[in-house]
């Protein structure tokens, strides 16, 4: 397994303050940045950065719907950032909560004892400031790969993405609770968000159902106590 010099354990600063058409047309071409590109810097440049959560979520969802290509889970590659709907999970009654509109770093489709499952890292399980930092670090770790496919949704070579390493690093940092599994035939409206759109997609918020607030606050209380 490929090793990386930059660790996920270093990616969050829990202190307050700033932290460093059925098939629609693909996202508009933008100028490919150079090696000095910083996702967190681009996030702060976005017009929605200082808007309230509801406004920026709406704008980010509009961007995804209008500019990002629609596809199915079999055509998505590990390492891509995807949005999809998950409105009626099979075990809905058993779940304390769930996100009906995840935005997820796709890990793959895997066979489990319960059948096929989509696995990915859902960015909505983290407060915005922490989410920005995590996504910035993921971009930094695989920057040459993501810059190479800058405007490409369904195309591009993401062979260097190592989901097992990322998952292990998230677990080690106490952030593994964002790694989730989904039943493929209960998910729909998959859209691939190219790296050029990450600075907008991070403003989406989870559409959580059931006992969301209390349970997620519990995760963060546990995280803060350990770090």
Residue range 30-46: mean pLDDT, rounded: 92
Per DSSP (E only), the strands in the chain are 69-71, 81-85, 97-99, 103-112, 115-122, 179-182, 188-193, 208-210
Give the rounded distance of the alpha carbon of 176 from its chain centre: 13
DSSP-derived letter for residue 29 is P
Counts for the chain of helices (H) and strands (E), in that order? 7, 8
> pLDDT over 90 for what percent of the chain?
55
Residue 187's SS3 state is: coil
d(CA 6, CA 42): 20
User: Does residue 210 surpass a pLDDT of 60?
Assistant: no
pLDDT band at 86 (very low <50, low <70, confident <90, very high): confident
pLDDT of residue 17: 40
All structural domains of the chain with their residue ranges: 43-226
Mean pLDDT of 198-225: 73
Tell me which of 7-21, 73-87, 177-191 is least confident: 7-21
Residues 6+ apart with CB under 8 A from 109: 73, 74, 116, 117, 118, 119, 184
């Amino acid at each position: 397994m490929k090793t990386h010099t930059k660790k996920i354990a270093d990616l969050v600063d829990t202190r307050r303050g700033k932290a460093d058409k059925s098939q629609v047309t693909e996202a508009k071409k933008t100028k490919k940045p150079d090696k000095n590109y910083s996702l967190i810097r681009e996030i702060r440049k976005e017009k929605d950065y200082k808007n309230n959560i509801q406004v920026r979520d709406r704008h980010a969802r509009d961007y995804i719907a209008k500019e990002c290509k629609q596809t199915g889970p079999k055509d998505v590659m590990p390492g891509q950032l995807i949005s999809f709907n998950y409105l009626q999970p099979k075990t809905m009654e058993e779940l304390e909560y769930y996100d009906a509109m995840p935005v997820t770093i796709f890990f793959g489709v895997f066979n489990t004892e319960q059948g096929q499952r989509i696995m990915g890292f859902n960015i909505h399980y983290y407060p915005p400031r922490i989410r920005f930092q995590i996504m910035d670090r993921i971009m930094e770790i695989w920057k040459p790969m993501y810059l190479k496919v800058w405007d490409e949704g369904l195309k591009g070579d993401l062979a260097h993405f190592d989901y097992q390493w990322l998952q292990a690093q998230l677990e080690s940092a106490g952030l593994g609770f964002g790694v989730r599994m989904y039943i493929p035939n209960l998910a729909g409206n998959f859209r691939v968000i190219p790296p050029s759109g990450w600075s907008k997609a991070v403003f989406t918020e989870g559409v959580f159902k059931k006992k969301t607030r209390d349970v997620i606050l519990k995760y963060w209380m546990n995280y803060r106590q350990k770090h």
